[in-house]
Structure 1
Amino acid sequence: MLTLKNITKRFGDRTIIDQLDLTVKDGEVLSIVGPSGAGKTTLLRCITGLEKVDEGEFLIDGQPFDPYTNRTNESVIGVVFQNFQLFPHLTVLQNITLAPTMVLKESEADAQANAQKLLERLDLGDHGDQYPYQLSGGQQQRVAIARALAMKPNVLCYDEPTSALDPNLRQEVEKLILGLKADGMTQIVVSHDLTFAENIADDMLRVEPNQSK
Protein backbone atom coordinates (compact mmCIF):
# COMPACT_ATOMS: atom_id res chain seq x y z
CA MET A 1 0.00 0.00 0.00
CA LEU A 2 1.28 3.46 -0.94
CA THR A 3 0.44 6.33 1.40
CA LEU A 4 1.11 10.04 0.90
CA LYS A 5 0.86 12.32 3.94
CA ASN A 6 0.70 16.12 3.74
CA ILE A 7 2.54 16.24 0.41
CA THR A 8 3.31 19.79 -0.73
CA LYS A 9 5.17 20.81 -3.87
CA ARG A 10 6.02 24.37 -4.89
CA PHE A 11 7.71 25.92 -7.89
CA GLY A 12 8.94 29.32 -6.78
CA ASP A 13 6.02 31.14 -5.15
CA ARG A 14 3.47 28.83 -6.77
CA THR A 15 2.01 25.94 -4.76
CA ILE A 16 1.18 23.10 -7.14
CA ILE A 17 0.30 20.41 -4.56
CA ASP A 18 -0.98 21.58 -1.19
CA GLN A 19 -0.90 19.18 1.81
CA LEU A 20 -2.22 16.20 -0.12
CA ASP A 21 -3.17 13.00 1.72
CA LEU A 22 -3.63 9.94 -0.47
CA THR A 23 -3.74 6.16 -0.10
CA VAL A 24 -3.45 3.66 -2.96
CA LYS A 25 -4.41 0.17 -1.83
CA ASP A 26 -2.57 -2.94 -2.97
CA GLY A 27 -3.82 -4.29 -6.28
CA GLU A 28 -6.00 -1.27 -7.06
CA VAL A 29 -5.90 1.26 -9.89
CA LEU A 30 -5.95 4.98 -9.06
CA SER A 31 -6.74 7.40 -11.88
CA ILE A 32 -5.56 10.99 -11.48
CA VAL A 33 -7.58 13.38 -13.66
CA GLY A 34 -7.94 17.13 -14.05
CA PRO A 35 -7.32 20.00 -16.47
CA SER A 36 -3.92 20.90 -17.92
CA GLY A 37 -1.81 22.76 -15.39
CA ALA A 38 -3.61 21.30 -12.39
CA GLY A 39 -0.56 19.32 -11.25
CA LYS A 40 -1.35 15.76 -12.40
CA THR A 41 2.04 15.09 -13.93
CA THR A 42 3.85 16.98 -11.15
CA LEU A 43 2.21 14.69 -8.60
CA LEU A 44 3.25 11.62 -10.59
CA ARG A 45 6.81 12.95 -10.85
CA CYS A 46 6.89 13.38 -7.07
CA ILE A 47 5.62 9.83 -6.51
CA THR A 48 8.19 8.39 -8.90
CA GLY A 49 11.07 10.41 -7.45
CA LEU A 50 11.66 12.67 -10.44
CA GLU A 51 10.73 15.72 -8.35
CA LYS A 52 11.55 16.42 -4.70
CA VAL A 53 8.60 17.40 -2.51
CA ASP A 54 8.85 20.42 -0.22
CA GLU A 55 6.86 18.88 2.64
CA GLY A 56 5.24 15.60 3.62
CA GLU A 57 6.18 11.92 3.57
CA PHE A 58 5.67 8.73 1.59
CA LEU A 59 5.03 5.31 3.09
CA ILE A 60 5.19 1.89 1.43
CA ASP A 61 3.32 -0.73 3.48
CA GLY A 62 3.55 1.57 6.49
CA GLN A 63 7.32 2.11 6.20
CA PRO A 64 8.76 5.56 5.41
CA PHE A 65 10.13 5.80 1.88
CA ASP A 66 11.62 8.75 -0.02
CA PRO A 67 11.28 8.18 -3.77
CA TYR A 68 13.60 11.11 -4.53
CA THR A 69 16.63 9.85 -2.61
CA ASN A 70 16.11 6.11 -3.11
CA ARG A 71 18.63 5.15 -5.78
CA THR A 72 16.91 1.83 -6.52
CA ASN A 73 13.54 3.54 -6.80
CA GLU A 74 12.60 1.70 -9.99
CA SER A 75 12.44 -1.53 -8.02
CA VAL A 76 9.77 0.05 -5.80
CA ILE A 77 7.85 2.41 -8.10
CA GLY A 78 8.00 1.88 -11.86
CA VAL A 79 6.97 4.43 -14.44
CA VAL A 80 5.84 4.29 -18.06
CA PHE A 81 6.52 7.66 -19.64
CA GLN A 82 4.20 9.41 -22.08
CA ASN A 83 6.75 9.14 -24.91
CA PHE A 84 7.96 5.68 -23.71
CA GLN A 85 11.68 6.75 -23.56
CA LEU A 86 13.02 3.52 -25.03
CA PHE A 87 16.69 3.48 -25.99
CA PRO A 88 16.65 3.60 -29.82
CA HIS A 89 20.06 1.92 -30.21
CA LEU A 90 19.06 -1.12 -28.12
CA THR A 91 16.85 -4.02 -29.12
CA VAL A 92 13.57 -4.65 -27.31
CA LEU A 93 15.22 -7.37 -25.20
CA GLN A 94 18.19 -5.14 -24.36
CA ASN A 95 15.86 -2.30 -23.34
CA ILE A 96 14.13 -4.61 -20.87
CA THR A 97 17.22 -6.33 -19.43
CA LEU A 98 19.45 -3.28 -18.98
CA ALA A 99 18.12 -2.08 -15.60
CA PRO A 100 17.64 -5.51 -13.98
CA THR A 101 21.27 -6.44 -14.73
CA MET A 102 22.71 -3.08 -13.69
CA VAL A 103 20.47 -2.14 -10.73
CA LEU A 104 19.11 -5.44 -9.42
CA LYS A 105 22.34 -7.27 -10.35
CA GLU A 106 20.43 -10.10 -12.07
CA SER A 107 22.50 -12.41 -14.23
CA GLU A 108 22.18 -11.87 -17.97
CA ALA A 109 20.53 -15.28 -18.33
CA ASP A 110 17.93 -14.61 -15.62
CA ALA A 111 17.19 -11.12 -16.92
CA GLN A 112 16.70 -12.42 -20.45
CA ALA A 113 14.46 -15.27 -19.29
CA ASN A 114 12.30 -12.86 -17.26
CA ALA A 115 12.19 -10.38 -20.15
CA GLN A 116 11.05 -13.08 -22.56
CA LYS A 117 8.26 -14.10 -20.17
CA LEU A 118 7.08 -10.49 -20.00
CA LEU A 119 7.18 -10.16 -23.78
CA GLU A 120 5.12 -13.34 -24.17
CA ARG A 121 2.62 -12.05 -21.62
CA LEU A 122 2.28 -8.76 -23.54
CA ASP A 123 1.95 -10.46 -26.96
CA LEU A 124 5.42 -9.40 -28.06
CA GLY A 125 7.14 -12.76 -27.83
CA ASP A 126 8.67 -12.60 -31.31
CA HIS A 127 9.77 -8.93 -31.13
CA GLY A 128 12.78 -9.27 -28.80
CA ASP A 129 15.40 -8.71 -31.50
CA GLN A 130 13.67 -5.71 -33.07
CA TYR A 131 14.51 -2.07 -32.44
CA PRO A 132 11.97 0.53 -31.19
CA TYR A 133 11.71 2.23 -34.60
CA GLN A 134 10.46 -1.06 -36.08
CA LEU A 135 7.48 -1.15 -33.70
CA SER A 136 4.11 0.59 -33.71
CA GLY A 137 3.23 3.08 -30.97
CA GLY A 138 1.16 0.48 -29.17
CA GLN A 139 3.98 -2.06 -29.31
CA GLN A 140 6.51 0.50 -28.03
CA GLN A 141 4.21 1.23 -25.11
CA ARG A 142 4.01 -2.47 -24.22
CA VAL A 143 7.80 -2.69 -24.33
CA ALA A 144 7.96 0.29 -21.96
CA ILE A 145 5.53 -1.51 -19.63
CA ALA A 146 7.60 -4.71 -19.83
CA ARG A 147 10.74 -2.71 -19.02
CA ALA A 148 9.05 -1.23 -15.93
CA LEU A 149 7.68 -4.63 -14.83
CA ALA A 150 11.13 -6.21 -15.18
CA MET A 151 12.19 -4.19 -12.13
CA LYS A 152 9.46 -5.95 -10.07
CA PRO A 153 7.98 -2.71 -8.71
CA ASN A 154 5.40 -2.47 -5.92
CA VAL A 155 3.57 0.24 -7.85
CA LEU A 156 3.45 0.97 -11.59
CA CYS A 157 2.73 4.54 -12.74
CA TYR A 158 1.68 5.78 -16.18
CA ASP A 159 1.82 9.33 -17.53
CA GLU A 160 -0.99 9.82 -20.08
CA PRO A 161 -0.85 6.24 -21.46
CA THR A 162 -3.33 6.90 -24.29
CA SER A 163 -2.13 10.31 -25.50
CA ALA A 164 0.58 9.05 -27.89
CA LEU A 165 -1.64 6.34 -29.35
CA ASP A 166 -4.34 6.11 -31.97
CA PRO A 167 -7.73 6.50 -30.23
CA ASN A 168 -8.68 3.01 -31.46
CA LEU A 169 -5.97 1.56 -29.20
CA ARG A 170 -7.53 2.96 -26.01
CA GLN A 171 -9.43 -0.25 -25.35
CA GLU A 172 -6.23 -2.28 -25.72
CA VAL A 173 -4.57 -0.12 -23.07
CA GLU A 174 -7.61 -0.52 -20.78
CA LYS A 175 -7.43 -4.27 -21.21
CA LEU A 176 -3.72 -4.32 -20.46
CA ILE A 177 -4.04 -2.25 -17.28
CA LEU A 178 -6.99 -4.31 -16.05
CA GLY A 179 -5.06 -7.50 -16.85
CA LEU A 180 -2.15 -6.31 -14.69
CA LYS A 181 -4.64 -5.42 -11.97
CA ALA A 182 -5.98 -8.99 -12.08
CA ASP A 183 -2.38 -10.13 -11.49
CA GLY A 184 -2.28 -7.96 -8.35
CA MET A 185 -0.30 -4.98 -9.66
CA THR A 186 -0.98 -1.65 -7.93
CA GLN A 187 -1.20 1.09 -10.59
CA ILE A 188 -1.47 4.89 -10.76
CA VAL A 189 -2.61 6.40 -14.05
CA VAL A 190 -2.52 10.09 -14.99
CA SER A 191 -4.94 10.80 -17.84
CA HIS A 192 -6.80 13.65 -19.49
CA ASP A 193 -9.23 11.07 -20.92
CA LEU A 194 -12.03 10.92 -18.37
CA THR A 195 -13.86 7.96 -19.93
CA PHE A 196 -10.67 5.90 -20.07
CA ALA A 197 -9.80 6.90 -16.49
CA GLU A 198 -13.24 5.88 -15.22
CA ASN A 199 -13.14 2.54 -17.03
CA ILE A 200 -9.92 1.41 -15.34
CA ALA A 201 -10.18 3.01 -11.91
CA ASP A 202 -11.01 1.61 -8.50
CA ASP A 203 -10.59 5.13 -7.19
CA MET A 204 -10.19 8.57 -8.80
CA LEU A 205 -8.35 11.68 -7.69
CA ARG A 206 -9.57 14.86 -9.35
CA VAL A 207 -7.07 17.69 -9.15
CA GLU A 208 -7.75 21.38 -9.77
CA PRO A 209 -5.32 24.25 -10.31
CA ASN A 210 -4.21 25.76 -7.01
CA GLN A 211 -4.58 29.54 -7.10
CA SER A 212 -2.65 30.16 -3.90
CA LYS A 213 0.69 31.93 -3.95
Structure 2
Amino acid sequence: MLELKNISKEYNKRVILDHVNMTVEDGEIMCIVGESGAGKTTLLRCISGLERIDGGQILIDGKEFDPYSNQNNDSVIGVVFQEYQLFPHLKVLENITLAPIMVLKKKEAEARQEAMQLLEGLSLADKAKLYPYQLSGGQKQRVAIARAMAMKPRILCYDEPTSALDPGLRDTVKNIILDLKKSGMTQIVVTHDMDFAKQIADSILKVKPSRG
Protein backbone atom coordinates (compact mmCIF):
# COMPACT_ATOMS: atom_id res chain seq x y z
CA MET A 1 0.00 0.00 0.00
CA LEU A 2 1.20 3.49 -0.90
CA GLU A 3 0.29 6.39 1.36
CA LEU A 4 0.92 10.11 0.94
CA LYS A 5 0.49 12.24 4.04
CA ASN A 6 0.39 16.04 3.85
CA ILE A 7 2.64 16.25 0.79
CA SER A 8 3.77 19.81 0.02
CA LYS A 9 5.84 21.18 -2.84
CA GLU A 10 6.80 24.72 -3.86
CA TYR A 11 8.48 26.21 -6.92
CA ASN A 12 9.94 29.70 -6.57
CA LYS A 13 7.84 30.28 -3.44
CA ARG A 14 4.68 29.29 -5.32
CA VAL A 15 2.77 26.48 -3.62
CA ILE A 16 2.05 23.68 -6.12
CA LEU A 17 1.02 20.91 -3.72
CA ASP A 18 -0.60 21.91 -0.46
CA HIS A 19 -0.85 19.08 2.10
CA VAL A 20 -2.01 16.40 -0.34
CA ASN A 21 -3.19 13.09 1.14
CA MET A 22 -3.67 9.92 -0.89
CA THR A 23 -3.84 6.16 -0.35
CA VAL A 24 -3.47 3.51 -3.05
CA GLU A 25 -4.11 -0.10 -2.06
CA ASP A 26 -2.02 -2.89 -3.58
CA GLY A 27 -3.33 -3.86 -7.01
CA GLU A 28 -5.51 -0.77 -7.37
CA ILE A 29 -5.59 1.84 -10.11
CA MET A 30 -5.60 5.41 -8.84
CA CYS A 31 -6.27 8.21 -11.32
CA ILE A 32 -5.12 11.75 -10.55
CA VAL A 33 -7.22 14.27 -12.46
CA GLY A 34 -7.46 18.03 -12.61
CA GLU A 35 -7.07 21.04 -14.84
CA SER A 36 -3.77 22.14 -16.33
CA GLY A 37 -1.53 23.69 -13.69
CA ALA A 38 -3.24 21.93 -10.79
CA GLY A 39 -0.10 19.96 -9.90
CA LYS A 40 -0.95 16.52 -11.30
CA THR A 41 2.40 15.92 -12.94
CA THR A 42 4.29 17.49 -10.04
CA LEU A 43 2.57 15.05 -7.67
CA LEU A 44 3.53 12.14 -9.92
CA ARG A 45 7.13 13.35 -10.09
CA CYS A 46 7.25 13.47 -6.29
CA ILE A 47 5.83 9.94 -6.00
CA SER A 48 8.31 8.60 -8.54
CA GLY A 49 11.32 10.35 -7.01
CA LEU A 50 11.99 12.81 -9.82
CA GLU A 51 11.26 15.69 -7.43
CA ARG A 52 12.01 16.03 -3.73
CA ILE A 53 8.99 16.81 -1.55
CA ASP A 54 9.21 19.89 0.67
CA GLY A 55 7.00 18.47 3.40
CA GLY A 56 4.96 15.44 4.40
CA GLN A 57 5.58 11.71 4.22
CA ILE A 58 5.48 8.96 1.62
CA LEU A 59 4.95 5.49 3.05
CA ILE A 60 4.97 2.02 1.51
CA ASP A 61 3.36 -0.72 3.61
CA GLY A 62 3.35 1.66 6.56
CA LYS A 63 7.09 2.38 6.41
CA GLU A 64 8.45 5.78 5.43
CA PHE A 65 9.97 5.76 1.96
CA ASP A 66 11.91 8.49 0.20
CA PRO A 67 11.69 7.85 -3.55
CA TYR A 68 14.02 10.78 -4.27
CA SER A 69 17.00 9.29 -2.43
CA ASN A 70 16.31 5.62 -3.13
CA GLN A 71 19.06 4.51 -5.49
CA ASN A 72 17.12 1.55 -6.84
CA ASN A 73 13.84 3.41 -7.07
CA ASP A 74 13.03 1.98 -10.50
CA SER A 75 12.59 -1.43 -8.86
CA VAL A 76 9.95 0.08 -6.56
CA ILE A 77 8.23 2.75 -8.65
CA GLY A 78 8.33 2.83 -12.44
CA VAL A 79 7.28 5.69 -14.70
CA VAL A 80 5.87 5.84 -18.23
CA PHE A 81 6.53 9.40 -19.36
CA GLN A 82 4.20 11.46 -21.53
CA GLU A 83 6.93 11.92 -24.15
CA TYR A 84 8.06 8.26 -23.78
CA GLN A 85 11.74 9.33 -23.46
CA LEU A 86 13.08 6.36 -25.39
CA PHE A 87 16.77 6.52 -26.32
CA PRO A 88 16.74 7.33 -30.08
CA HIS A 89 20.13 5.71 -30.75
CA LEU A 90 19.11 2.37 -29.21
CA LYS A 91 16.88 -0.28 -30.72
CA VAL A 92 13.67 -1.26 -28.95
CA LEU A 93 15.20 -4.31 -27.26
CA GLU A 94 18.21 -2.27 -26.12
CA ASN A 95 15.94 0.43 -24.69
CA ILE A 96 14.25 -2.18 -22.52
CA THR A 97 17.34 -4.11 -21.40
CA LEU A 98 19.63 -1.18 -20.60
CA ALA A 99 18.39 -0.42 -17.07
CA PRO A 100 17.98 -4.05 -15.92
CA ILE A 101 21.60 -4.71 -16.98
CA MET A 102 23.07 -1.46 -15.62
CA VAL A 103 20.96 -1.01 -12.47
CA LEU A 104 19.73 -4.47 -11.51
CA LYS A 105 22.98 -6.09 -12.72
CA LYS A 106 21.16 -8.74 -14.72
CA LYS A 107 23.04 -10.81 -17.25
CA GLU A 108 22.41 -9.70 -20.80
CA ALA A 109 20.86 -13.01 -21.87
CA GLU A 110 18.39 -12.95 -18.98
CA ALA A 111 17.48 -9.30 -19.59
CA ARG A 112 16.93 -9.95 -23.29
CA GLN A 113 14.74 -13.00 -22.60
CA GLU A 114 12.56 -11.08 -20.14
CA ALA A 115 12.36 -8.10 -22.52
CA MET A 116 11.18 -10.31 -25.37
CA GLN A 117 8.49 -11.78 -23.11
CA LEU A 118 7.28 -8.26 -22.34
CA LEU A 119 7.31 -7.32 -26.02
CA GLU A 120 5.35 -10.44 -26.93
CA GLY A 121 2.76 -9.62 -24.29
CA LEU A 122 2.37 -6.15 -25.79
CA SER A 123 2.27 -7.43 -29.41
CA LEU A 124 5.63 -5.84 -30.19
CA ALA A 125 7.92 -8.85 -30.63
CA ASP A 126 8.42 -7.99 -34.30
CA LYS A 127 9.60 -4.47 -33.39
CA ALA A 128 12.52 -5.54 -31.18
CA LYS A 129 15.19 -4.59 -33.72
CA LEU A 130 13.66 -1.28 -34.78
CA TYR A 131 14.68 2.19 -33.63
CA PRO A 132 12.15 4.49 -31.93
CA TYR A 133 11.85 6.71 -35.03
CA GLN A 134 10.52 3.68 -36.92
CA LEU A 135 7.59 3.25 -34.50
CA SER A 136 4.15 4.83 -34.33
CA GLY A 137 3.08 6.82 -31.28
CA GLY A 138 1.10 3.90 -29.94
CA GLN A 139 4.03 1.53 -30.40
CA LYS A 140 6.37 3.94 -28.60
CA GLN A 141 3.85 4.09 -25.76
CA ARG A 142 3.87 0.30 -25.42
CA VAL A 143 7.68 0.16 -25.56
CA ALA A 144 7.80 2.74 -22.78
CA ILE A 145 5.46 0.55 -20.72
CA ALA A 146 7.63 -2.51 -21.40
CA ARG A 147 10.76 -0.59 -20.40
CA ALA A 148 9.18 0.46 -17.10
CA MET A 149 7.92 -3.07 -16.42
CA ALA A 150 11.36 -4.56 -17.11
CA MET A 151 12.52 -3.09 -13.80
CA LYS A 152 9.79 -5.11 -12.05
CA PRO A 153 8.37 -2.14 -10.11
CA ARG A 154 5.78 -2.58 -7.39
CA ILE A 155 4.01 0.56 -8.58
CA LEU A 156 3.72 1.80 -12.16
CA CYS A 157 2.99 5.47 -12.85
CA TYR A 158 1.78 7.04 -16.10
CA ASP A 159 1.88 10.72 -17.06
CA GLU A 160 -0.99 11.50 -19.46
CA PRO A 161 -0.80 8.13 -21.27
CA THR A 162 -3.55 8.98 -23.78
CA SER A 163 -2.80 12.64 -24.50
CA ALA A 164 -1.45 12.13 -28.02
CA LEU A 165 -3.39 9.03 -29.04
CA ASP A 166 -6.39 8.55 -31.27
CA PRO A 167 -9.50 6.79 -29.86
CA GLY A 168 -8.42 3.33 -31.03
CA LEU A 169 -5.03 3.55 -29.38
CA ARG A 170 -6.66 5.06 -26.30
CA ASP A 171 -8.62 1.83 -25.93
CA THR A 172 -5.41 -0.18 -26.39
CA VAL A 173 -3.75 1.67 -23.51
CA LYS A 174 -6.88 1.19 -21.40
CA ASN A 175 -6.77 -2.55 -22.01
CA ILE A 176 -3.05 -2.74 -21.17
CA ILE A 177 -3.63 -0.95 -17.87
CA LEU A 178 -6.58 -3.18 -17.00
CA ASP A 179 -4.61 -6.32 -17.95
CA LEU A 180 -1.77 -5.22 -15.65
CA LYS A 181 -4.32 -4.78 -12.88
CA LYS A 182 -5.30 -8.44 -13.31
CA SER A 183 -1.66 -9.38 -12.70
CA GLY A 184 -1.71 -7.41 -9.42
CA MET A 185 0.18 -4.32 -10.54
CA THR A 186 -0.54 -1.17 -8.53
CA GLN A 187 -0.91 1.75 -10.95
CA ILE A 188 -1.19 5.54 -10.72
CA VAL A 189 -2.40 7.41 -13.79
CA VAL A 190 -2.25 11.18 -14.26
CA THR A 191 -4.81 12.25 -16.84
CA HIS A 192 -6.93 15.20 -17.88
CA ASP A 193 -9.42 12.77 -19.44
CA MET A 194 -12.16 12.14 -16.88
CA ASP A 195 -13.96 9.64 -19.13
CA PHE A 196 -10.78 7.58 -19.43
CA ALA A 197 -10.26 7.79 -15.66
CA LYS A 198 -13.76 6.51 -14.98
CA GLN A 199 -13.16 3.52 -17.27
CA ILE A 200 -10.03 2.31 -15.48
CA ALA A 201 -9.90 3.74 -11.95
CA ASP A 202 -10.68 2.09 -8.64
CA SER A 203 -10.38 5.56 -7.10
CA ILE A 204 -9.95 9.10 -8.40
CA LEU A 205 -8.07 11.97 -6.76
CA LYS A 206 -9.09 15.42 -8.01
CA VAL A 207 -6.45 18.10 -7.57
CA LYS A 208 -7.02 21.83 -7.84
CA PRO A 209 -4.59 24.71 -8.33
CA SER A 210 -3.31 25.96 -5.00
CA ARG A 211 -4.09 29.52 -3.99
CA GLY A 212 -0.67 29.80 -2.43
TM range (shorter): over 0.9
On the 8 A contact 1:83/1:164 being kept in 2, the answer is no
Write the distance in 1 (CA, Å) between the matches of 2:198 and 2:125.
Answer: 30
| CA shift for structure 1 position 116 | 0.5
Aligned partner of 1:187 in structure 2 is 187
User: TM-score w.r.t. structure 2 length?
Assistant: 0.98
| Long gaps (5+) in structure 2 | none
Write the distance in 1 (CA, Å) between the matches of 2:102 and 2:169.
Answer: 33
Q: 1:1-213 to 2 correspondence within 5 Å?
A: 1-212=1-212
Segment drifting more, 10-19 vs 187-196: 10-19
| CA shift for structure 1 position 168 | 2.8
Write the distance in 2 (CA, Å) between the matches of 1:151 and 1:175.
Answer: 21
Write the distance in 2 (CA, Å) between the matches of 1:97 and 1:61.
Answer: 29
Write the distance in 2 (CA, Å) between the matches of 1:125 and 1:169.
Answer: 18
Q: Secondary structure at the match of 1:126?
A: helix
CA offsets, 1:44-96, max 9 Å, x none? 01001111110111111122110111121111100000010000110100000
Q: Secondary structure at the match of 2:125?
A: coil
Q: Secondary structure at the match of 2:126?
A: coil
CA offsets, 1:84-129, max 9 Å, x none? 0000110100000000000000000110010011001111111111
Q: Secondary structure at the match of 1:211?
A: coil
| CA shift for structure 1 position 5 | 1.2
Structure 1 stretches (4+) deviating beyond 4 angstroms?
none
Write the distance in 1 (CA, Å) between the matches of 2:205 and 2:72.
Answer: 27
Question: Aligned residue pairs: how many?
Answer: 212
| Long gaps (5+) in structure 1 | none
Please report the RMSD computed on the Cα atoms of aligned residues, expressed in angstroms: 0.8
Aligned amino acid, residue 33 of structure 2: V
Write the distance in 1 (CA, Å) between the matches of 2:115 and 2:100.
Answer: 10
CA offsets, 1:142-191, max 9 Å, x none? 00000000000010000000012223311111111000001110000000
On the 8 A contact 1:10/1:16 being kept in 2, the answer is yes
| CA shift for structure 1 position 6 | 1.4
Q: Secondary structure at the match of 1:118?
A: helix
Write the distance in 2 (CA, Å) between the matches of 1:94 and 1:172.
Answer: 24
Q: Secondary structure at the match of 2:59?
A: strand
Write the distance in 1 (CA, Å) between the matches of 2:53 and 2:144.
Answer: 26
| CA shift for structure 1 position 13 | 2.2
Write the distance in 1 (CA, Å) between the matches of 2:123 and 2:101.
Answer: 23
Instruction: State percent identity of aligned pairs.
Output: 65
Q: Secondary structure at the match of 2:141?
A: helix
Q: Secondary structure at the match of 2:83?
A: coil
